[in-house]
Amino acid sequence: MTIDMDKCSGHARCYGTDPDLFQIDDSGYALRPGFEVPAGGEDTAREAAASCPERAITAQ
Protein backbone atom coordinates (compact mmCIF):
# COMPACT_ATOMS: atom_id res chain seq x y z
CA MET A 1 0.00 0.00 0.00
CA THR A 2 1.24 3.47 -0.89
CA ILE A 3 -0.39 6.66 0.40
CA ASP A 4 0.09 10.01 -1.32
CA MET A 5 0.67 12.06 1.83
CA ASP A 6 0.07 15.35 -0.01
CA LYS A 7 -3.38 14.16 -1.01
CA CYS A 8 -4.39 12.80 2.40
CA SER A 9 -6.86 15.24 3.95
CA GLY A 10 -7.75 13.33 7.09
CA HIS A 11 -11.09 11.80 6.07
CA ALA A 12 -9.91 8.69 7.97
CA ARG A 13 -12.13 6.40 5.91
CA CYS A 14 -9.24 3.94 5.50
CA TYR A 15 -8.73 3.87 9.26
CA GLY A 16 -12.47 3.37 9.70
CA THR A 17 -12.28 0.24 7.54
CA ASP A 18 -8.95 -1.22 8.66
CA PRO A 19 -7.67 0.58 11.79
CA ASP A 20 -4.73 -1.74 12.47
CA LEU A 21 -3.18 -1.39 9.04
CA PHE A 22 -4.06 2.22 8.19
CA GLN A 23 -2.67 4.03 11.21
CA ILE A 24 -3.48 7.71 11.73
CA ASP A 25 -1.77 10.54 13.62
CA ASP A 26 -3.31 12.66 16.37
CA SER A 27 -5.19 14.75 13.83
CA GLY A 28 -6.57 11.77 11.93
CA TYR A 29 -4.22 11.96 8.93
CA ALA A 30 -2.24 9.01 7.51
CA LEU A 31 0.78 8.20 9.64
CA ARG A 32 2.69 5.99 7.20
CA PRO A 33 3.26 6.64 3.48
CA GLY A 34 3.72 2.96 2.65
CA PHE A 35 3.56 -0.48 4.21
CA GLU A 36 3.23 -4.18 3.48
CA VAL A 37 -0.14 -5.86 3.81
CA PRO A 38 0.04 -9.04 5.89
CA ALA A 39 -1.07 -12.27 4.21
CA GLY A 40 -4.82 -12.74 4.55
CA GLY A 41 -5.49 -9.02 5.00
CA GLU A 42 -5.56 -8.13 1.31
CA ASP A 43 -9.33 -7.85 0.88
CA THR A 44 -9.87 -5.54 3.85
CA ALA A 45 -6.85 -3.45 2.85
CA ARG A 46 -8.16 -3.10 -0.69
CA GLU A 47 -11.58 -2.08 0.62
CA ALA A 48 -9.95 0.52 2.88
CA ALA A 49 -7.96 1.90 -0.06
CA ALA A 50 -11.11 2.15 -2.18
CA SER A 51 -12.90 4.12 0.53
CA CYS A 52 -10.54 7.11 0.24
CA PRO A 53 -12.41 10.17 -1.09
CA GLU A 54 -9.12 11.74 -2.22
CA ARG A 55 -8.07 8.58 -4.11
CA ALA A 56 -4.77 8.90 -2.27
CA ILE A 57 -4.17 5.18 -1.68
CA THR A 58 -2.66 2.78 -4.21
CA ALA A 59 -2.58 -0.97 -3.79
CA GLN A 60 0.29 -2.74 -5.55
Partner 1 sequence: MSVTDPAPSRCPAVTYSPHEQRPVGEWTAFFDQLRAEAPVVRNTFANGYYVLTRYEDILSAYQDTDTFSTQAVTVMEPDPSYRWIPHMLGGDEHRQWRRQLGPYFSPRAIDGLDDRIRSRAVGLIESFADRGSCDVITDFSFHYPTTIFLELMGLPVGDLDRFMAWEANILHSNGSTPEEIAHNRTTAMAAVYEYFGSVIADRRRRPGDDLVSHAIAFKVDGRPVTDDEVLSYCFFMFMAGLDTVAAALGYSLYHLATHPEDRARIVADPALIPSAIEEILRAYAFTIPARKVTKDIEVAGCPIAAGSMVQLPIKAATRDGSAFASPAEVLIDRKPNNHIAFGAGPHRCLGSHLARHELAIALEEWHKRIPDYRLADDAVITELGRSSGPDTVPVVWAR
Q: How far is the CB of 47 from partner 1 (least distance, A)?
A: 6
Give the up-direction half-sphere exposure of residue 56: CA atoms within 13 A in the CB hemisphere.
21
Q: How far is the CB of 3 from partner 1 (least distance, A)?
A: 14
User: Binders of partner 1 among 35-54, rule CB under 8 A?
Assistant: 47, 50-54
Nearer to partner 1, 29 or 35 (CB): 29
Nearer to partner 1, 16 or 38 (CB): 16
If you count DSSP H runs as helices and E runs as strands, how many of each does the chain have, helices first? 2, 2
> E strands, 1-49, where?
2-3
